[in-house]
Amino acid sequence: MAPEGGAAISRALVEQIVRDVVTKRLGSPDGHGPSKLVVHPSARHMHVCREHLDVLFGPGHELTPERELYQEGNFAAAETVTLIGPRSRVIPNLRILGPLRQKSQIELAFTDAIALGLDNVPVRLSGDTGGTPGAYVMGPKGMVELHEGVIRAAMHVHMNPAEAEYYGVKQGDVMKLRVGGDAGVVFDRVHVRIDPASRLNVHMDTDEANACALHLARDIELISEKRGER
Amino acid sequence: MAPEGGAAISRALVEQIVRDVVTKRLGSPDGHGPSKLVVHPSARHMHVCREHLDVLFGPGHELTPERELYQEGNFAAAETVTLIGPRSRVIPNLRILGPLRQKSQIELAFTDAIALGLDNVPVRLSGDTGGTPGAYVMGPKGMVELHEGVIRAAMHVHMNPAEAEYYGVKQGDVMKLRVGGDAGVVFDRVHVRIDPASRLNVHMDTDEANACALHLARDIELISEKRGER
């Protein structure tokens, strides 16, 4: 409650205070604050290890970058594979994302997984593939059996340490993402992933993007539960 | 704030008060309260009018109920059609839901709409199809051109007047649905549809069900913004 009869302050002073606060919160022109929040839907894709790329595309094959992704160094490759699930259902033209990883991993939306005949795909953070379903992957030079590695990626936000400080979050925290519009949704479990090379960027899958009508969304807000407590 | 030094009351009295309130809120054994909240994903489907059914399946054809739906009188029919979008992309085996309606209408998830080549399908309440995209529909006896009627159904909750009173909502209000779990989501725009014959039941599409991992959900809560104010 505002105290009654407080001292009047000029509009100019209020504006100066607002400017100071906003500059502090959103970062100064030297670039040390958070950048604009960008939300990307990730279509189904594969990350591939050296050994599997050799089998799928031939020994020593190198991925051909076709399109740079928002996170520096990441790219959509020209290479695609065919994914074969149980009961011989297939997903053709599954895009490989580069660069190479230590472990192969396939990220599907549940709609994809169900179409492929996999009804036990868990929601996991990238890299956490223990005990997940496998699949057969076919490339132009050979077939690989993945014993595990098919996941639905948990929604996550990439940010650099300055942005993490701005939001008051640390690695492994969970934030909320509110997407307004006719199909307004609040995603309650957006996992924080901090890296000095990262750009502020939420990754959701196509089911999530379609559920919240991301392409029609009028306003989007990344919310830290902790921030209100500061 | 609780007043300090209030009179102590016995545990038994507290339990009696809780029982009374819960009985009032959740309904007495005569069945006048809300029933258990049931959430169903609706796969893509078509509602068909008499005139179109005649063209698609032959004059005077009657739908064959194959499976009763949760809302009394509604059923999945044995009949399916083929949906043809722009650029000749098709969705085969699109299920018809009965009974007949005054206007034909096709409800797709955005994933379906995009697969069909329709990128301008709006989020609409059932029946509100003015200005929506059309499509060609093929049945065993003929083809129909729908000039409009393809929508993504806005998420909605069916309830009877007693349930509406319990939640403190009226026809056309919007509630929230919180789905807990690894992919926890709050849907902010669940439209209230009241009918004396309805059973308490949220309908979401497959994108929404997959986004919130409905099949893995541990707890689900229908929330009225107004209820807290009462």
Task: Assess whether pLDDT exceeds 80 at residue B107.
Answer: yes
Cβ of B123 within 8 Å of Cβ of A210? The answer is: no
Round to whole Å and give the CA distance between B19 and B165: 19
Query: Which pLDDT band, with edges at 50, 70 and 90, does B66 fall under?
Result: very high
Task: Name every residue whose Cβ is closer than 8 Å to that of residue A104 and which is 6 or more positions away in sequence.
Answer: A46, A47, A48, A49, A52, A137, A144, A146, A149
Each residue of A20-65: pLDDT tens digit?
A: 444 444 444 444 556 789 999 999 999 999 999 999 999 999 999 9
- Give how far A179 is from chain B: nearest CA, Å: 9
Q: Is pLDDT above 50 for B224?
A: yes
* Residues in contact with B218: Cβ distance below 8 Å, sequence separation at least 6, in sequence order: B180, B181
Q: Look-up: residue for tokens 């399109």?
A: A67
| Listed range (B11-25, B67-81, B134-148) with the worst mean pLDDT | B11-25
Work out the pLDDT band at B12, boundaries 50, 70, 90: low
pLDDT score, position A21: 47
Confidence bin at B10 (pLDDT 50/70/90): low
Give the model's pLDDT for residue B8.
52
CB distance B117 to B150 below 8 Å? no
Separation CA A167–CA A224 (nearest Å): 6
d(CA B98, CA B77): 6
Rounded to the nearest angstrom, the minimum Cα separation between A8 and chain B is: 32
Chain A touched by B43 (CB under 8 Å): no
Q: Which of B110, B178, B210 is opposite residue A213, by nearest beta carbon?
A: B110
Please give the structure tokens belonging to residue B81.
């059609």
* pLDDT at residue B44 tops 60: yes
Instruction: Look at chain B and count its residues.
Output: 230
**Confidence band of A5 (pLDDT split at 50, 70, 90):** very low
pLDDT band of residue B24 (cuts 50, 70, 90) is very low
Contact A211 B216 (CB under 8 A): no
At B184, is the pLDDT very low, low, confident or very high (cuts 50, 70, 90)?
very high
Q: Copy the structure tokens of residue B206.
A: 């497959």
Q: Who wins on pLDDT, B7 or B70?
A: B70
- Which segments of chain B are extended strands (E)? 38-42, 45-49, 65-68, 75-84, 90-101, 105-107, 123-124, 135-138, 143-146, 150-153, 156-159, 174-179, 185-194, 201-205, 220-223
| % of chain B beyond a pLDDT of 70 | 83
When pLDDT is cut at 50, 70 and 90, the band that residue A13 belongs to is low
User: Which residue on chain B is closest to A212 by alpha carbon?
Assistant: B208
Between chain A and chain B, the number of residue pairs with CB atoms below 8 A apart is 85
Mean pLDDT lowest among A14-18, A51-55, A77-81: A14-18
Q: Which of A114, A188, A190 to mutate to test binding with chain B, by most B CBs within 10 Å of its CB?
A: A188
Q: Does residue A16 register a pLDDT over 60?
A: no
| Predicted pLDDT of residue B23 | 40
| pLDDT at res. A229 | 42
Instruction: Tokens 């009627």: give the residue.
Output: B149
Question: Residue A218: its pLDDT value, please?
Answer: 81
* A217-226 per-position pLDDT tens digit: 889 999 997 6
Q: Which amino acid, one-letter code, is at B193?
A: R
Q: How sure is the predictor about A87, in pLDDT bands with cuts at 50, 70 and 90?
A: confident
What distance in Å separates the CA atoms of residue A54 and residue A142, rounded to the nearest whole number?
9
pLDDT band at B14 (very low <50, low <70, confident <90, very high): low
Contact B185 A188 (CB under 8 A): yes
Name the phi and psi angles at B225, rounded to 5.
Answer: -60, -35
Burial class (CB in 10 A: 0-12, 13-18, 19+), B105: buried
CB A91 within 8 A of CB A137: no
pLDDT value at residue A124: 97
B114 phi and psi angles, rounded to 5 deg = -70, -40
Check CB contact of B123 with chain A, cutoff 8 Å: yes
Question: How far away is chain A from the Cα of B211, in angstroms, using its nearest Cα?
Answer: 5
Q: Tell me the DSSP string of B50-116.
A: HHHHHHHH-TT----EEEE-SSTT-EEEEEEEEEE-GGG-EEEEEEEEEEEESS-EEE--HHHHHHH
Say what the pLDDT of residue A18 is. Answer: 53
Tokens coding A220:
């989007």
**A154-179: per-residue pLDDT in tens?**
999 999 999 999 999 999 999 999 99
Neighbours of A188 (CB within 10 A): 22
Which of A39, A110, A132 to substitute to test the interface with B, most B CBs within 10 Å?
A: A110
Q: Give yes or no for residue A96 having a pLDDT over 90.
A: yes
CB contact under 8 A, B111 and A111: yes
- C-alpha B102, offset from chain centre: 19
Contact A64, A53 (CB under 8 A): no
Strands A45-47 and A90-98: parallel
C-beta separation of A207 from B210 below 8 A? yes
Residue B6 pLDDT > 50, yes or no? Answer: no
Q: Does B187 touch chain A (CB under 8 A)?
A: yes
How does residue B178 score in pLDDT terms, banded at 50, 70 and 90? very high
To which H or E segment does residue A24 belong?
helix A11-26
Collapsing DSSP states into helix, strand and coil, what is residue B11?
helix
Mean pLDDT in chain A? 87
Distance CA A67, CA A49 (A): 20
Chain A positions touching B183 (Cβ under 8 A) are 123, 152, 154-155, 187, 189, 208
What is the token pair recorded at A196?
Answer: 């000095």
Q: What is the mean pLDDT of residues B166-171?
A: 95
Q: What is the CA radius of gyration of chain A?
A: 22
Q: How many CB atoms lie within 10 A of CB A152?
A: 27
H or E stretch covering B164: helix B161-167
Whether B3 has a pLDDT exceeding 60, the answer reads no
ipTM of the complex: 0.79
Structure tokens at B69: 């739906």
Cβ-defined contact of B187 to A185 (cutoff 8 Å): yes
Question: Do A55 and A143 touch, CB atoms closer than 8 A?
Answer: yes
Mean pLDDT of chain B: 87
Return the amino acid letter for B223: I
CA atoms within 13 A on the CB side of B214: 22
| pLDDT digits 0-9 by tens, A117-162 | 999 999 999 999 999 999 999 999 999 999 999 999 999 999 999 9
Q: How far apart are CA B33 and CA B50, in angstroms?
A: 37
